[in-house]
Amino acid sequence: MATIAMIPADKQGNKIFIKDLRVDEKQRTFVKYKSTYNDMPFMEVELYGVDNGQNCAICGDDGTILYRFSTAWLSSLN
What's the number of CA atoms in the CB half-sphere (13 Å) around residue 28? 9
Mean pLDDT of 51-70: 95
Asked whether residue 72 carries a pLDDT value surpassing 90, the answer given is yes
Q: What is the pLDDT of residue 7?
A: 96
Domain boundaries defined on the chain: 5-75
Does the pLDDT of residue 1 top 80, yes or no?
Answer: no
Distance of alpha carbon 24 from alpha carbon 2, whole angstroms:
19
pLDDT at 2 over 90: no
pLDDT on residue 76: 86
Cβ contact 69:5 at 8 Å? no
Q: Tell me the pLDDT tens digit for each residue of 4-60.
A: 999 999 999 999 999 999 999 999 999 999 999 999 999 999 999 999 999 999 999
